[in-house]
Amino acid sequence: MAKKKTRVDLRKNRAKPPRENTWTSGFREHGYEEDATVADERVRAKGDISRKRTIIEEVPDNPGEQTQTTLMPAIDESVCLQGRVIRIHGLQSIVEAKDGRIFKCSVRGLLKNLQTDERSVVTTGDRVWFLVSGGDEGVIERVEPRFGVLTRESRRREHVLVANVDQLVIVMSLVEPDLKPHLIDRYLASAQTGKLAPILCLNKADLVEHANLQSMIGSYAQLGIPTLLTSVRTGQGIPQLRELLADRSTVFSGQSGVGKSSLLNAIQPGLALRVSTVSDVNQKGRHTTTTAELIRLETGGWVVDTPGVRQLQLWDIRPEEIEGFFPEFRAFVPGCSFPDCTHTHEAGCAIKRAVVRRQISVRRFHSYIGMRNGMAETA
């Protein structure tokens, strides 16, 4: 890799001066004006406060290899160790080095202050370089480019839940809490954006009749998405799920109370992850997993157990891009009367005709409308 100097933006720590500039208002009244010096230098940056710094970054020989937008400073690999972030507690990142040792690491101040859309520059699953500061403590100096990320929008910023994984297991309970098909479609869109292979896991299958699920399972099977019916109580689907996880890096995600931790306990007995019940008042799950954690599996590979989500707002998606998350639309789009058809209100829309003829799932079409309206409101 080549190295070059790059000017980078740092986060702005203030938007205006910390106090009003009125404390010298009596300057002239006290007769000190004649002693004043002429100031010809600007101390504060013009306009909004600007913060910049020059760093030396490593640039791939092939520019196409650059997959991470946040610039990272070059480091001395002879004094740093490589590791992977297995979980984060507040300001502390727990990193497992290549030799298996565990270190409690803080993040170098420069990395935390880099101007970025991300809520945090380091997340679970990141491959990092860190400098040992003594004992089992260290400082993260650099984050390697990511692949395979699960991300969402949080307070108008990007929240990367986990990085460097191969596949996403979307865990949904059929009851307690009730199934939310629209949330499944949002997860599928997020998986496509983050380049993750999706697996749909419909849990608590022992509590419902399977005949009513065949239509939905068939619609996802037609899209090439593996769909499993699972039950921790009866063991249904556990062997198949265990086989899909072997030698892969996987993230489990879904609402609170759907049984993510219970499934992992069944897949690998001895994990003893905390589990809880669903509230009898509102049928919503209680948070028991409080942080995303990378867990090594005995069958090979890794799995990440994540905290439950209430909603999944897609990050950095324009309304006109939503159509691309619904592959069943592609065959019908050329038949629309308008090249910029939104498939919402236009006359002569081939997508709406296909919905009426049951060639496209009504439920999936409603998901499309909901996602598009949500993106439009955000924009």
What are the extents of the domains in the chain?
A: 56-143, 150-305, 319-378
Give the pLDDT of residue 156. 80
Per-residue pLDDT at 366: 94
For residue 26, the 8-state DSSP code is T
pLDDT (0 to 100) of residue 1: 55
CATH node for 150-305: 3.40.50.300
Q: Which residues contact 65 (CB under 8 A, 6 or more apart)?
A: 145
- Residue 379, helix vs strand vs coil: coil
DSSP E strands in 10-101: the ranges are 52-59, 81-89, 92-97
How far is residue 75's CA from residue 46's CA, in Å, rounded to a whole number?
Answer: 33
Instruction: Examine domains 56-143 and 150-305 and report if their fold is the same.
Output: no
3-class secondary structure, 325: helix
User: Tell me, which fold does domain 319-378 have in CATH?
Assistant: Ribonucleotide Reductase Protein R1; domain 1 (1.10.40)
Q: What is the pLDDT of residue 93?
A: 93
Rg over CA atoms, the chain: 26
pTM of the model: 0.78
Beta bridge pairs of residue 170:
200, 253
Residues in the chain where the model's pLDDT stays below 50: 47, 63-67, 69, 279-285, 287, 379
Q: At 144, phi and psi to the nearest 5?
A: -70, 155
Q: Which of 118, 55, 130 is nearest to 92 (CA)?
A: 130
56-143 CATH fold: OB fold (Dihydrolipoamide Acetyltransferase, E2P) (2.40.50)
pLDDT given for residue 312 in this prediction: 84
